[in-house]
Chain A
Amino acid sequence: EIVMTQSPATLSVSPGARATLSCRASQSVSTNLAWYQQKPGQAPSLLIYRASTRATGIPARFSGSGSGTEFTLTISSLQSEDFAVYFCQQYNDWPYTFGQGTKMEI
């Protein structure tokens, strides 16, 4: 199966700062990659699909990039509601696999 590795495990940033999260696939997944945000006690919610397309209602401060094996989620100016855990997921091949998550903390 394709192993997804996220870094860093924890990212400490200040409100208003820019944050860059990384996701690496053990083999190429083309652009079949999604990003999700999960807040404590809540289900994950879709942020980005096809590596760079924002889901409906997602603010423009969230952007995704990359293809093949290297992907990045960038949050341009962190708001208080952005402090959460972020997961990447590949859907290029079965089984779907997720990264272990990056926790964004203040």
Chain B
Amino acid sequence: QVQLVESGGGLVKPGGSLTLSCAASGFTFTDYSMSWIRQAPGKGLEWVSYISSGSSRTKHADSVKGRVTISRDYVKNSQYLQMNSLRAEDTAVYYCARDLGGYLDVWGQGTTVTVSS
């Protein structure tokens, strides 16, 4: 079945770095764009980053621009979100999602990032 599984979350100190992974299965990974979305504790949803099916195009929210890199590995059928200079306000559950031209039809279960000293 179509599935996305995130990993890589954890506790990190302010200013630290973390790389999140999202393993895709059950569909042709090369055919789809992907996005990352986050949800701070008790809050709503915030789109974070986007990468096109062929990796030629990426987009980032202003809140993370310059601090994150999104990438894909077509051998491992995975996408990644490398996050640097982490701040307390980056604390959230991070979801990866399949992006069908803007709407997000498949979501992973999420991985939790906590930025705290």
Contact = CB atoms under 8 A, between A and B. Distances in A.
Is the contact region of chain B dominated by helix, strand, or loop, or is it mixed?
A: strand
Of the four ranges (under 10, 10 to 19, 20 to 34, 35 or more), the interface on chain B belongs to 20 to 34
Interface in B44-64: 44-47, 50, 59, 61-62
Interface residues of A, number: 24
Is the contact region of chain A dominated by helix, strand, or loop, or is it mixed?
A: loop
A98 interface: yes
A89 B107 contact: no
Interface in B31-51: 35, 44-47, 50
A49 B44 contact: no
Interface stretch (A20-28, A40-48, A69-77): A40-48
Contacts of A91: 101-103
Interface in A19-57: 32, 34, 36, 42-46, 49-50, 55
